[in-house]
Amino acid sequence: TGWVIESTQTPTAAYITSQAAVSCTSSTMCMAVGRSANLAETQVTLAENWNGTKWVTEPTPTQSGVPPIAFLSGVSCTTGSACTAVGWHYNSLGIGVTTAEVWNGTKWVLEHTPNRLSAEGSGLSGVSCPSTTACTAVGVDVDTDGTPVTLAEVWNGTKWLIQPTPNRKGAKNSTLAAVSCTSATNCTAVGYYINAAGTEVTLAETWNGTTWVIQTTPNPTGATSSSLSGV
């Protein structure tokens, strides 16, 4: 009938909180993720659980980094006791690296995610889990020459693995913002890239179970900037 604002919890000592993504398995179970910052400018991951009556903050693992910043930007739940959230954090060297956490129905637990040793920075922005043993996460990887390129990682039930992703020839910046999978062998990811002319245009890629393939996407006539943020 209508939209109603719901009250959410604010973590103790937080002066900035924001949620970036949400996943619901039923009308009585939703998980939202984002970040929380205190007056010391320490930013930590944030997760809140909707139990059908109210939103409750669920403690998330702390990442140590320089500066101390961590962010969750995507989440996908298959059941009330199985959610995967992804994002990024700064490591001890001050380099942005990928982050993944899993909700087991009781608590959030960190999972190890790979990062290319040559990358100048990496982060995950979206995730989709068609089952508890299959998740695909996408984001951006900063190449050795400073060029942002597409990134995809897959959870096979045991560990996260990097999947090679294509980039448009001559692109100055390529980013995947979101992904949706119907199975472990069928995913679509969307985002944007900056072409050789310096124009930001839409980007879509599909996973066929073997490789990621770029799909042709339209852009509105006369648009000076176009991008896709969800799928």
Predicted pLDDT of residue 16? 81
What is the spatial distance between Cα 48 and Cα 57, in angstroms, rounded to a whole number? 4
What is the spatial distance between Cα 126 and Cα 87, in angstroms, rounded to a whole number? 8
pLDDT digits (tens, 9 = 90+) for 121-162: 999 999 999 999 999 999 999 988 899 999 999 999 999 999
Q: pTM here?
A: 0.94
Read off the tokens for 37.
Answer: 């910052």
**Residue listed under structure tokens 């960190």:** 110
Contact yes or no for 189/179 (Cβ under 8 A): yes
DSSP label of 185: T
pLDDT digits (tens, 9 = 90+) for 22-81: 999 999 999 999 998 877 778 889 999 999 999 999 999 987 777 889 999 999 999 999
Read off the tokens for 223.
Answer: 């648009």
